[in-house]
Amino acid sequence: AVAASIGAVAVLVGPAEPASAVPDTIPLTLKNESGSTEPVYVYVIGTELASGQQGYADESGTFHAWPAGGAPPVPAPDASFTGPANGGSKTVRLPKFSGRVYFSYGEKLDFRLAEGGLVQPAVQNADDPNHDTLFNWTEYTLNDSGLWINSTQVDMFSAPYSV
């Protein structure tokens, strides 16, 4: 360690304390201030970092790998869980993942599995089964270094939300 005196203040510089390990899951509190009486459906989808597998997480943060896809794409298992009602909140767990948290109002999203993996909603495609469903998402990565969150205003703009 190196010590220095600056005026009447002593400064000690040395190795930093070891950082705390990032837990396998972290809490995410969803708060619904939409003003809508329609149900909200939430999805946590992406790639599990430990295995590299694509899949989804339930509200407790447990990972579920997607089954094999098909050509043409086949319906994916229902990965949704119900979000909070208007004025309410709900805390769920986010796993170490690189993916997205989707939420939709009134209707569940229709995800499909192709041979190469998940087919995600594409609002610019008029033939997409989710074209008329109000939804949005946020991208996140939680790994051993921490949490990174990116809102989707770069990719699209839809239902407002804050992180």
Render pLDDT for 89-107 as a digit per residue (tens, 0 to 9): 999 999 999 999 999 999 9
User: Does residue 139 carry a catalytic annotation?
Assistant: yes
Render pLDDT for 50-76 as a digit per residue (tens, 0 to 9): 999 999 999 999 999 999 999 999 999
What residues does each domain of the chain span?
20-154
Q: Check: CB of residue 140 under 8 Å from CB of residue 150.
A: yes
User: Does residue 155 carry a catalytic annotation?
Assistant: yes
pLDDT band at 158 (very low <50, low <70, confident <90, very high): low
Q: Is the dihedral of CA 71, 74, 76, 77 positive or negative?
A: negative
Q: Which residue has the tokens 């993996």?
A: 117
Distance between CA 141 and CA 31 in Å, rounded? 21
- Which of 48, 110, 139, 144 is the catalytic position? 139
Topology adopted by domain 20-154: Thaumatin (2.60.110)
Instruction: Provide the token pair at 105.
Output: 């109002």
Strand partners, 140: 99, 149
- Which of 24, 33, 38, 155 is the catalytic position? 155
Question: Residue 52: which residues within 8 A CB-CB, separation 6 or more?
Answer: none
